[in-house]
Amino acid sequence: MRKRCNEIKEFLSEYLDNELDAAVRAEFDAHMGNCEPCRRFLDSTRKTVSLYSNLEYDDIPMELKDRLKSFLAQLPKPKP
Amino acid sequence: MIAMSAKTDETIVQELLGGRKDAFLELVDRYQNKIYRLAYKITGNATDAEDVLQEVFLKIYSKIHTFEGRSQLSSWIYRIAVNAAYQKIARDKKSRHISLDEVLPSVGTGDALSAQLTADWTERPDEVLLTEEARREMMDAIRELPPEYHVVFALKDLEGLSNQEIADILNLSLPAVKSRLHRARLFLRKRLSEYFERVS
């Protein structure tokens, strides 16, 4: 039974991405319905992905924009 | 201003190829935010993102004549940026394999299995979990990933690309992308679970 739990977890990422075919998904769902530790493992993986996916990233800082522009302005003019 | 923002990428490329340097600065204005955020996601820190940004624009400037127009300019630039950021982390971090044994609960030890899963932090709302310290922990955890896993995870779960797009950009097979993504997610799940259980 324990081995079965880790076997089923091999499909976990594809399950979260909706990439399993119907038969494997049904088997996965059935296992999760009967195995509390696996269900918690699934929930914690889903939550991990969700937390990372929802992280917000700042735009480029203004001082970096200015620094970049100054640096690039010094490049030689392109030859046509 | 209106005329500048309405200019197409193709027009900017033609002007740049015609020797107009101000066209390049327009291109920089158009893409700097997108490249910076992408580089930050892949490298995980501002200093490296700045290095990548500079490197990418230098490369665009020196290689624009090799852009053949078979793909969108944005795709060409995106690919250059991903590869520059990936090379940056690959230079700085050791490559290694993440085994499933490392990221899954131990088989056959019921106590270990249940002990790892008892504290259910997943029911707490995001706004409670996402303290400044937790955000730093999350970024630290990503930086612990070996580069080949780090880049796949960043492109999929931070940037939102499909597995096929990632495979195309990194020249990997689809199974290789899926395998790296799976292991990266389990690695991060383990790190975050340990952290959130510790601080609860």
User: Where in chain A are the domains?
Assistant: 2-73
Closest approach of A56 to chain B, Cα-based (Å): 9
Does A49 sit within 8 Å of B157, measured CB to CB? yes
What is the average pLDDT across B126-142?
92
What residues contact residue B73 under an 8 Å CB cut-off, 6+ apart? B9, B10, B12, B13, B67
**The pLDDT value given to residue B34:** 94
**Would you put residue B160 in left (φ > 0), alpha (ψ -120 to 50) or beta?**
left
The residue of A44, A63, A64 whose CB has the most chain B CBs within 10 angstroms, and thus the best one to mutate to test that interface, is A44
Residue A43 with chain B: CB contacts under 8 Å? 120, 122
Portion of chain A with pLDDT greater than 90, in percent: 64
Q: How far apart are CA A2 and CA B105, in angstroms?
A: 10
**Single-letter amino acid, residue B166:** I
Entry pTM:
0.87
Mutate to test the interface with A, among B193, B194, B197 (most CBs of A within 10 A): B193
- Cβ pair B84, B52 in contact under 8 A: yes
Indicate if the alpha-carbon torsion angle A43, A28, A34, B115 is positive or negative.
Answer: negative
Contacts of B200 in chain A (CB under 8 A): none
ipTM over 0.85: yes
**CATH code for A2-73?**
1.10.10
Could you give the 3-state DSSP secondary structure of residue B95? coil
A57 touches chain B (CB under 8 A): yes
Domains of chain B: 2-92 (1.10.1740.10), 100-199 (1.10.10.10)
pLDDT-derived band at B120, boundaries 50, 70, 90: confident
Q: Which residue has the tokens 């193709």?
A: B10
Residue B104: which of A9, A53, A72 has the nearest Cβ? A9
